[in-house]
Structures are given as C-alpha cells and as structure tokens.
Structure 1
C-alpha cells in the first residue's frame, strides 16, 4: 500500500513541477503559440499543460468571437452563443497575449476588468 502511495505522490509532485515550469516558460507562453491563426480559425492553447501537447488545442472561428475579457490571470474569449474559452496565463504574459488577441479578433469588444 505505501508503495502505491509513494508512486502516486511522486507522480503528483512531477505533475506540479511540470505545470509550474510550463506556466512560466517564455517559449510556451508566446502569443503566437498560445493563439495560433489558421486562416479563419484560431487554435487556442488554454492552459499551461495544453501548451505541451497540440492534442489539447481548442479551435474557435474568428468571426464568432464577440468579446475579449482580461482579468488578473485570465484572458477570456466569448462567442456569439455566450460560450467562452478561458486562457490561463501568468501576469507577465497576459498583456502581450491580450494585444495579440485584439489583433486576431478586430471586431471583438475588448474589456479589461480591474484586479
């Protein structure tokens, strides 16, 4: 039993370390990497672990995004049908990604909420 507990604790610790590294990685949080443009579709890597694997990318149609909302740690894209995609970022990468999102979705309303 303690063998399985120690394996589980080790895997959880490894998960936390990888997540913290990915959250603060300059390469993984580049605006062009977080929001990747493919003609009329944008691939969104919404959290730090999804930036490690392209299989977890969410795709949105550019003209369906009607509002971009920025809070302290989150950049949220709202669609015409009030669905949203939350992109979790550190504060140091939030401004550059918000500026990139404004360029990708020029018709969308931009809202910055106070912290």
Structure 2
C-alpha cells in the first residue's frame, strides 16, 4: 500500500512542478501560442496542460465568438450559443493575450471586469 502512495505522491509532485513551470513560462504564454490563428478557426490552448501538449487544443470558429470577457486570471470567449472557453493565465500574461483576442475577434464585444486593477 505504501508503494502506491509513494508513486502517486511522485506523480502528483511532477504534475505540480510542470504546471507551475508552464504557468510562468514566457514562451508558453505568448499570445500567438495561446491563441493560434488558423484562417477561419482559432486554436485555443486554454490551460497549462494544453500548452505543454498540443493534442489538448480547442478549435473555435472566429465568426461564432460574440463576447470576450477579462476577469482575474481568466480570459473567457463566449460563442453564439452562450458556450464559453475559459483561458487560464497568470496576471502577467492576461493583458497581452486579451489585446490579441481583440485583434483575432474584431466583431466581438469586449468586456473588462471591474475587479481588475
């Protein structure tokens, strides 16, 4: 039983260290990497795991994004059907990614949270 606890503790520790590194990495949090323009689609890497492994990228059609909302540590893209994609970023990378989202989705309404400094 203790071997399983030890192994799960090691796996959790490795995941935690990789997650913290990915959240603070300059390269992995650049706007062109988080939001990848693919003509009519945008590839969204919405969390640190998807920034480490490209297989977890979410594709969204540009014309379906109607609202962009910025709140503390989260950039949210809302679609026509009121579905949303939350993009989790540290406060350091949130403004540049929000500005890039404005460029990618010019027809979308931009809502800035009143709780941001």
2:71 alignment partner in structure 1: 71
Q: Which runs of 5+ in 1 are unaligned?
A: none
1:22-101 equivalences under 5 Å are 22-101=22-101
TM-score by length of 2: 0.97
- 1:19 maps to 2:22: no
Report runs of 4+ in structure 1 exceeding 4 Å deviation: none
For structure 2, list consecutive stretches of 5 or more residues without a partner in the other structure: none
* Backbone CA RMSD of aligned residues: 0.5
Q: How many residues get paired?
A: 115
Give me the whole-angstrom Cα distance separating, in 1, the residues matched to 2:101 and 2:71.
Answer: 14
Are the equivalent residues in 2 in contact too, given 1:44–1:59 (CA < 8 A)? yes
Aligned-partner Cα distance in 2 for 1:114–1:24: 25
Q: TM-score, normalised by structure 1?
A: 0.99
Q: Deviations over 1:46-98 (max 9, x none)?
A: 00111011100000000100000000100000000000000000000000000
Displacement of 1:36: 0.1
Distance 1:114 1:3 in 2: 49
